[in-house]
Structure 1
Amino acid sequence: MKALTVPKIDHNGKTDLLQVSALLKEQTELHTIDQINWPQFPYTPGVSFRIGHTNEEIWIVFYVTEKHILARHTTTNSATHKDSCVEFFIDPKKNGHYYNFEFNAIGTTHLGYGPNIGKRNLIDAELIESMIRTRSTMGTTPVDIEDGSSSWELTAVIPARLLVHENITELSGLSAHANFFKCGDETSTPHYLSWNPVHTDRPSFHQPEFFGRLEFE
């Protein structure tokens, strides 16, 4: 099980998403999403991330370079995993019940909660849209760019209050299980990468037993 410390970010008051990205670059380490768990899908785009928190919010920025940037889904809780997609799964109480935050390359968000892929309860779309802040360097309009090597960056701010099933209001001192992923089911070269290794016969990110550990400062 991999483990990482989530630093508490030193900042002044309300920050816009450009500032979030800059502060993460200044104050956090870079981590890679590069585990090929299923040899039948060997393509490895360049994917890394930074993560921090402010006690009230989780801050994440993903950096991606890939052959084909695809983002067709614009509706909250749609099938973003079929697009160029980065994902953050977190089990705040380490009890096997986790949230799956899935962001496509234009910031469309899918968010569910439950113990496994067959038992997911979608978080209300209005709640997601009012609470999560995202910014992608690709903008918000659907894209389909296949030029061999394009890059994009996605910044996401997730309030602790959005972890509605645990009633978490503060992140400092939290010990959680989590994993980070990159996929693209309908891109020209489907791929399924993870931060912490997943040991299953076929691609499946919904495996909390293979999450790593996050320790929030």
Structure 2
Amino acid sequence: MNSKPFILLYYVWAMGIACGFTGQDDRTLKVKEIEHSGDASLQEVSDLLESQTELHDIDLINWDAFSYRPKAQFRIAHSNNQIWLKYYIEEKSILAEVVDVNGAVSNDSCVEFFFDPQADGNYYNFEFNCIGTPLLAYGPGRSDRHFVDEKSIQEQIQVKSTLGTTSFKEQTGEHTWEMTLVIPAESLLHDEGLQLKGLHAKANFYKCGNKTAEAHYLSWNPVKAERPDFHRPEYFGTVIFE
């Protein structure tokens, strides 16, 4: 019996496990805990993420009709029951027209974090255009979203973009920008008392731009919908908070 095909199949399977994939294309990400006494500034959060965490790619093209792939990466950790998240983006053009909280930020150059803390299909969609305008809603699917109060978002979620906060029309040419976020567990209003440490959750990370010169829809974990649709919790990956 020729053992080479078996060895090859075993190697492919082992590599898939090592990269965090299961047979259902379920990527797994371990979120490191960073110890820090007291409240960390956004600059401290950025520096600690840079020095203590790994880069992860948002690079999957799920729909052939939208083949543009800007470079999109992120770092993530948790500390003092807060999620720390930093995005790194390089793209051909940038757009930032939306300035209203809970506005259509996905039309602009946008990064997103969809988070299902209980892994039960009910999730929060955190969306930010490239100047940090936020959108936050909760529910079990696209058609049943409940927006979080604007005041709560502004009081609890910290965001800083290297592009500042002033809106602008689309700017062509190569652009690089970064965004640092602090999301406290207290902002997850439908999961009162949630503790991040030890939590096994579901999530996906996205980069999009509905109305940019080249519309694009990238994800961290594969999305197997027929058309662009990030509101598909069945395609979230696994996120383990150490």
Q: Same fold (TM over 0.5)?
A: yes
Counterpart contact for 1:2–1:212, Cα < 8 Å: yes
Between 1 and 2, higher relative CO (CA 8 Å, sep ≥ 6) is seen in: 1
**Is 1:139 matched with 2:164?**
yes
Which of 48, 52, 73 is the aligned partner of 1:27? Answer: 52
CA-CA distance at 1:78 after TM superposition: 0.4
Q: How many residues align?
A: 217
Which of 214, 223, 227 is the aligned partner of 1:189? Answer: 214
Per-residue Cα deviation, 1:64-93 (whole angstroms, up to 9, x for no partner): 000111011111100000000000000000
Per-residue Cα deviation, 1:3-46 (whole angstroms, up to 9, x for no partner): 01100112232211111111001111100000000000000000
Counterpart of 1:71?
96
Counterpart of 1:3?
28
Which of the pair is proportionally richer in strand? 1
SS of aligned partner of 2:145:
strand
CA-CA distance at 1:148 after TM superposition: 2.3
1:88 & 1:73 partners in 2: Cα distance?
18
Q: Which moved more, 1:144-153 or 1:44-53?
A: 144-153
Letter in 2 for 1:108: T
Task: Report % sequence identity.
Answer: 51
Counterpart of 2:4?
none
Counterpart of 2:224?
199
1:125 & 1:78 partners in 2: Cα distance?
11
Counterpart of 1:114?
139
Counterpart contact for 1:51–1:60, Cα < 8 Å: yes
Q: Which moved more, 1:14-23 or 1:92-101?
A: 14-23
1:180 & 1:168 partners in 2: Cα distance?
24
1:147 & 1:81 partners in 2: Cα distance?
18
Question: Unpaired segments of 5 or more residues in structure 2?
Answer: 1-25
Counterpart of 2:119?
94
Q: TM-score, normalised by structure 1?
A: 0.98
Which of 157, 163, 166 is the aligned partner of 2:188? Answer: 163
Per-residue Cα deviation, 1:112-135 (whole angstroms, up to 9, x for no partner): 000000000001110000000000
Moved over 2 A (4+): 143-148
